[in-house]
Amino acid sequence: MADTGIFATTAEVQRKAGANANSTAAAEAYINDFMTQAESLINVMTKYNWSDAYSGLNADVKAILKEVASNIAATYIIQYDMGGFNSLREAEAMLDVLNNAINRGLSVLRDIAKRDFTQNA
């Protein structure tokens, strides 16, 4: 099986989910599903279809999309089963860090989408 996501790879998501993540949820098949959901969520929340425009985006925007999508997918992995972590607090701290980065990245993407819309109108 191969990565089917547009914005991030399985390995990038696995690194963010951490060493104690559930191996079933961190498998490529699950991550492909999580990435599809994450990419759709990003597109809807920013009101811009980054997936369709991806090939024409600059490297900086692609990196922000990679960060947000991999963070979202990693939260799905962690939420799948928190039992493998050293403590619930560890898993919750990881989710907090990822969620902060998701919100920051979505904010930046919304600003880029608004700017591009007004410049191209």
By the 8 A CB rule, do 105 and 44 touch?
no
For residue 1, is it within any domain?
A: no
Structural domains counted in the chain: 1
- What would the pLDDT profile of 42-54 be if each residue is shown by its tens digit? 999 999 999 999 9
- What would the pLDDT profile of 64-76 be if each residue is shown by its tens digit? 999 999 999 999 9
For residue 60, is it within any domain?
A: yes
For residue 3, is it within any domain?
A: no
Range of the structural domain that residue 29 is part of = 10-120
Give the DSSP letter string of 15-72: HHH-TTS-TTTTSHHHHHHHHHHHHHHHHHHHTS-HHHHGGGS-HHHHHHHHHHHHHH
Q: Please give the angle made by the CA atoms of 96, 98 and 104, to the nearest 5 degrees.
A: 100
